[in-house]
Structure 1
């Protein structure tokens, strides 16, 4: 085991560009114990891909953290524990059979035809945002309000509330993505309580006034097994957080990658039919999520390393998506790359349930930005948010 390798994903250098660090880990120690992150880092595509199906690696990763905190004598009524207690109900941090049940009950809201039918409305919204954009931060002007508005609409919430959604999501990101300062749990707890009260009120409203929205669909009408109010509120919180955080990052990161590659940008403008493969390639090249966590529940062996129950494993998607054993010339953007089996949205039973929607929003946003803003240019060198799990910009300042 090469413990001398740099493995801290939160240094300024790794925050700005994590790929040199990840390349070194993947080449020299692909199953690496990180004392900084108190986790094993898996960086090769085959290992990450196999880990998604490895039952020794549990997705139920919040409850064990709470148990470990309790074993260390940390108070159960602390802000940190109360935040973790609320997040432990999320579908994305559960295993079968609980996960299977929650995903089945939520799946009706994500039917392919329901998402496909949103194409025209999403395009109209992007055009409206671009019409109002005169330069400055493209994230604040386009990349954030698009998914936030879409999620608000899908949940049947007033679009005017989307700024509240952002505040809540930003506070949750401090915990979920491993960033923020010592007060992050207190900030997240306040946001979670406000958000929970908001969604419970919305649930009551939809119960008396059903609509053609995702929340009504998740409430169900005939099935014997239904989501409880606690589960509905948790599902709404998860959809709000995952549904706009990931898509905002996808749009911003893809746009930045194109601005830094004027030849590819010009080529896409000449041939819009390349949009689908371009978006898939940019999800691979610099996707919205760097790391997904797993909790070890049974002893397992990966590349000769014994990984024990109670340890954590980081599936480093950003490294897997640039593995030269899986992708030719992985550090280069190839907007015609096909096939492109990246794992930006995970894999298997825990693959992102909203991936179709995220792809649609990203394709439409990037396509309209490219076609409608011909003079788009970087106005300032962008800064990245320090976080273990996410790959997100502070801002994307551009001129138009």
Structure 2
């Protein structure tokens, strides 16, 4: 494949959204460092290259400020204000700013704190499954996978659970900008998102003020504590951290659960294996994240020229790190297109790598493990309805619009069964 071949350039076509792995496989084999004219970016698809890129000082996560500078005087006011608000997000900053923000937030994500949430997550999962079964629902995303993360995040931040609908709405509005979802024009999306972000930031400012006066056992209170140096997150930084946690946690976990369910149901032998041995859940989730994880692409901004596989990548270019392609690289994984719930070791990079590895990855794993295990236990006859699955046309995320399922469960079977205890193990 020549570098200017356009047949596989556009990752947002319906075909590429429905089955991105065939596109990624062709790029990975024939042109692993590929310039995409539609995306105006380099596409990296091999595991070694993507893994090394996470460590490269030539690539920057600080991609909002250059974008604002490039659009100075040309961007719509709503678009520029959204980007200005997002510059505080930890994930779009480099060291030393990123180092400080992550250090101050890390205490809220300690292993012990995440593990302690297991029982609460199990209760939430079973409550949502009760509602799903008794209500006769069919869409497992709209009535389960989409609801759970927002509920957990509300609890984590010490916000009323009743506010979870607002959390979901704000996350959706931000997704309009981050992932380009929806049928509106860019200007329409940004106007909608700006209104949502302003509401969200105002809400979190009030929540931060309340938690300063009434600290609790929640993560927001933990993030306010500061460190041994006397350093602490400012109000703006706390608000940005809450917004990032809401958006990243909601989108990623919803997709992890939904994609995991689809993959299991499309591989009945592996699904049967998990039903027969619930102890496989930990390795199963890692394999599901590798096989069809929630994030397809992460972006980086090039800050210094470098050479890669005979290509010169210049400062000012953009690079798309295609995690979904790297996680199926045959040079790293034996039979990468085969689902193996017992695969070990499994060095996938579904949550990134290095200093920018997802800070909430363990929480996402916890929720996904518990959700899938309870689904397997309580809905053992869960199956796809046969309706065509509609994958969202998104560059960054691997996400379904809905997930229609059948399950044969009756209201009398809605009572929770014995806990596997997986929710309390990390």
Q: Distance in 1 between matches of 2:17 and 2:118?
A: 34
* Cα deviation, residue 394, structure 1: 0.4
Q: Distance in 1 between matches of 2:226 and 2:270?
A: 49
Q: Distance in 2 between matches of 1:318 and 1:178?
A: 19
DSSP-derived class of the 1:136 partner: coil
* Cα deviation, residue 78, structure 1: 1.3
Q: Could you tell me whether the CA contact under 8 Å between 1:7 and 1:21 is conserved in 2?
A: no
* Cα deviation, residue 179, structure 1: 3.4
Partner of 1:302: 308
The match for 1:47 among 46, 49, 56 is 49
* Mapping 1:106-121, distance limit 5 Å: 106-121=105-120
Partner of 1:386: 393
Partner of 2:217: 212
Say whether 1:2 aligns with 2:8: no
* Cα deviation, residue 147, structure 1: 1.2
Q: Distance in 2 between matches of 1:225 and 1:177?
A: 34
Q: Could you tell me whether the CA contact under 8 Å between 1:285 and 1:322 is conserved in 2?
A: yes
Structure 1: 5+ residue stretches without partners = none
Partner of 2:171: 169
TM-score by length of 2: 0.91
Give RMSD over aligned pairs: 1.1
DSSP-derived class of the 2:71 partner: helix
Residues 168-221 of structure 1: per-residue CA shift (max 9 Å, x gap): 111111211243431211111111100000000101111111111111111116
Q: Distance in 1 between matches of 2:226 and 2:94?
A: 26
Q: Distance in 1 between matches of 2:247 and 2:381?
A: 32
Q: Could you tell me whether the CA contact under 8 Å between 2:226 and 2:233 is conserved in 1?
A: no
Q: Could you tell me whether the CA contact under 8 Å between 1:155 and 1:213 is conserved in 2?
A: yes
Residues 254-292 of structure 1: per-residue CA shift (max 9 Å, x gap): 001111111111111001111111111110000000000
Say whether 1:131 aligns with 2:122: no
Q: Distance in 2 between matches of 1:221 and 1:96?
A: 18
Partner of 1:397: 404
Q: Could you tell me whether the CA contact under 8 Å between 1:26 and 1:43 is conserved in 2?
A: yes
Partner of 2:82: 83
Say whether 1:229 aligns with 2:230: no
Q: Could you tell me whether the CA contact under 8 Å between 1:56 and 1:300 is conserved in 2?
A: yes
**Once structures 1 and 2 are overlaid, which stretch shifts more, 160-169 or 91-100?**
160-169
Q: Distance in 1 between matches of 2:41 and 2:405?
A: 38
TM-score by length of 1: 0.97
Q: Distance in 2 between matches of 1:286 and 1:153?
A: 28
